[in-house]
Amino acid sequence: MLEITYSVRAGDIEHGGTASAWLKVELRKEGVSEQLARRAGVIAFEGEMNLILYATRGGTLHVAVDDAYIEIELNDDGPGIEDLDLAMTPGYSTAPYWAANLGFGAGMGLINMERNSDRFEISSHLGEGTRIVCWIDRRKDDNST
């Protein structure tokens, strides 16, 4: 069992991705396969960067691991996503120009998260915030992502 919560600060581009890179190492220590640690790393990275770039006050990245699942949960308290279908469209991005020039804003963040999850849930309300939960099934560890 492993359970970690990271606080992610809004706008902290400089440290963006730190938690995810560290998470991957922690998961490997926990006996998670390279393949699954990599998938978890991708999910966490996209989630972490979303909190940094878009969440008004940042948010939390919570990871829980047991024998069956790796659960990655992201929470923030605003601004919320107006149109989830649109946000889940490949290439759709609201990243500002400066962020695009740092390599962000491909419009693939949520999609990369979903693709690397065995189960993916997202809920969002304007003015309240966004909650994303991703599960990776460790029992389906067949080395194919």
Partner 1 sequence: MKFADVMELLDGEILEGVDVSEMIIDRAYAADLLSDVLALTDERTTLITGTISPQVIRVADILNVIAIIFVRGKRPPKSVVTYAQRVGIPVMCTKKTMFESCGLLYANGVRPCKNRPVSGPGSGCSK
Partner 2 sequence: MTIRLSDLCDVLELEHLTPILDLDREVNTALVGDLLSDVLATAKPGDVWVTVQRHQNVVAVARVTDLAAVILARDVRPTDDVIALAVEHGIVLLGSTAPAFDVCGRLYAILRGDAR
- Residue pair 10/60 in contact by the 8 Å Cβ criterion: no
**Residue written as token pair 């490949």:** 90
Q: Going residue by residue from 68 to 107, which x/- string records binding to partner 1, judged by CB under 8 A? A: ----------------------xx----------xxxxxx
The distance of closest approach from Cβ of residue 82 to partner 1 in the complex, given in angstroms and rounded to an integer, is 21
The distance of closest approach from Cβ of residue 131 to partner 1 in the complex, given in angstroms and rounded to an integer, is 21
The distance of closest approach from Cβ of residue 127 to partner 1 in the complex, given in angstroms and rounded to an integer, is 27
The tokens for 1 are 């069992």
Query: What 3-state class would DSSP assign to 78?
Result: coil
The tokens for 118 are 């065995």
The distance of closest approach from Cβ of residue 94 to partner 2 in the complex, given in angstroms and rounded to an integer, is 10
Q: Does 127 bind partner 1 (CB under 8 A)?
A: no
Q: Which does 97 bind (CB under 5 to 8 A by kind): partner 2, partner 1, none?
A: partner 2
Please select the residue that binds partner 1; options are 6, 8, 16, 80, rule is CB under 8 A. Answer: 16
Closest to 51 measured CA to CA, from 2, 136, 113, 4: 113
Closest to 28 measured CA to CA, from 56, 60, 70, 68: 70
Give me the numbers of helices (H) and strands (E) for the chain, helices first please: 5, 5
Closer CB to partner 1, 18 or 60, in the complex: 18
- Residues with Cβ within 8 Å of 99's Cβ and at least 6 positions away in sequence, in order, are 13, 53, 105
Residues of the shown chain interacting with partner 1 in the complex, contacts defined by CB under 8 A: 13-18, 20-21, 24, 34, 38, 41-42, 45-46, 49, 90-91, 102-109, 111-112, 115, 145
